[in-house]
Amino acid sequence: MNRLSVSKQLPRFAVLTPPGRGAVATIRIEDADRLFDGEHGLPPLCTVRNGRPLAGQAPNRILYGAWGGTGGEGVVLCRISESIWEIHCHGGRAAVAKIVEDLSSRGAIAITPATFLTNGEPLIEEAWRALTRATTLRTADRLLEQATVAWPLVIEEFKNAAEDGERARQAAEMLSWWDFGRHLTTPWHVALCGRPNAGKSSLMNALAGFARSIVHEQPGTTRDLVTLETAFEGWPVQLIDTAGLREQAEEIESQGIERARRAAADADAVILVIDGSEAPSAADRELMESMPEAILAWNKSDAGNRWEEQMPDAAIPISAKTNQGLECLVVRMIERLIPRLPAAGQPYPVCEVHATWLKKMLAAS
């Protein structure tokens, strides 16, 4: 029997929690019943309170036990599948080291968490890495689905696909979700644009819930980009407060205006803030014509409407001062950023490695 076939029969384990001290540590091990209960005359590594051998314990049942027998280190165990156990112990270095030493002394092989969770598949490992960069529970839930369900299925389907045409069709469908997938770890960018004193900075502060941007009646107060990362409805968004857009400006302010235009061009969505308490001007109309895709926010609606019927129907009346209309503005913004969502189980790329691999599959088909 060769060495490879022997190693496959040996139990493997991985410490899933990061190195160092912690409240609780988690060790996952496969095919460990014979190690736990003892073999070849060796004492069991672990005993549980109900007194039954671990080999006969039902899956998904929480068990309280002692590592090393009665009086040993207290642990919590759970069989999470027919062949895989999890051990939860004190997070100190000594407790973890003792369990690792005992498992190794019985022939178990230590592997990295990534290898254990992905079975050595690099593309699945990349999905797990993406999960570590999630900033909200909603995006983490989506990324967990990709790591545990979607991408393992993709690997299997691509291996078994009989025709290149079928692989190409699957790759194209997955790539159509690339813009959504990449934003699960990188926030969508939303630029707040408009004329000076339209209320862009006040709107950012209102959306953020605290004063991030300086607010002043003097035109040109914001001369550079001011950014803020937050989340709306569980989706990560970076708000970008830009310099007021106007033709007559001093040199330093002009540089800020140029940055504002570039930020608007690069943004995933633009909110064009219009001061509805002032009569419409040619400059306002020029801005609206130059940004036809922008979401129109009619600000200072609490101070009256000087535009009257000239205000476009698509404009959302808001007040950064009283928070009126902000919920409607957020809904419109999310609809613009995420016009549709992938169905449950739909695989898609969540990192550059995934996207590059799919593009190669598509080109080779």
Q: Which two tokens stand for residue 346?
A: 């739909």
Strands 269-275 and 188-194: parallel
Contact 88, 24 (CB under 8 A): yes
Task: Indicate the burial class of 255 (C-beta count within 10 angstroms; 0-12, 13-18, 19 or more).
Answer: middle
pLDDT at 38: 66
Secondary structure letter of residue 205 according to DSSP = H
Task: Indicate the burial class of 268 (C-beta count within 10 angstroms; 0-12, 13-18, 19 or more).
Answer: middle
Maximum distance among all Cα pairs of the chain, rounded to whole angstroms: 92
Q: Which two tokens stand for residue 4?
A: 């490879």
CA pair distance 27, 17, nearest whole angstrom: 8
**Helices 137-145, 122-131: crossing angle, 10 deg rounding:** 170
Q: Which two tokens stand for residue 365?
A: 């088909």
pLDDT at 220: 43
pLDDT at 224: 61
Residue with structure tokens 């569980």? 234
Is the domain spanning 3-111 CATH 3.40.50.300? The answer is: no
CA nearest to 193, candidates 287, 112, 281:
287
> Using only C-alpha atoms, what is the Rg of the chain?
29
Contact 134, 148 (CB under 8 A): no
pLDDT in tens, the chain (365 residues): 333 333 446 889 999 988 777 889 999 998 877 777 666 667 888 888 888 887 788 889 999 989 987 678 899 999 988 888 999 999 888 999 999 999 998 889 999 887 888 877 999 999 999 998 999 999 999 999 999 999 999 988 887 776 778 888 999 999 999 999 999 999 999 999 988 888 888 899 999 885 554 343 444 444 467 889 999 999 999 999 886 554 444 444 445 456 667 878 899 999 999 888 888 888 888 888 988 999 999 998 887 777 777 888 899 999 988 999 999 999 999 999 999 999 999 999 999 999 999 999 888 87
The CATH code belonging to domain 188-337 is: 3.40.50.300
Q: To 10 degrees, the CA torsion angle through 126, 127, 132, 138?
A: 160
CA nearest to 220, candidates 190, 191, 238, 242:
242
Contact 362, 175 (CB under 8 A): yes
The model carries a pTM of 0.74
Instruction: Please enumerate in sequence order all residues whose Cβ is within 8 A of that of 51, keeping only pairs 6 or more positions apart, or say none.
Output: none
CA nearest to 104, candidates 15, 17, 20, 5:
15
pLDDT at 40: 62
pLDDT at 257: 53
Instruction: Please enumerate in sequence order all residues whose Cβ is within 8 A of that of 298, keeping only pairs 6 or more positions apart, or say none.
Output: 274, 276, 305, 307, 311, 315, 316, 317, 318
What residue segments make up the domains of the chain, in order of their start? 3-111, 122-177+352-364, 188-337
CA pair distance 47, 70, nearest whole angstrom: 7
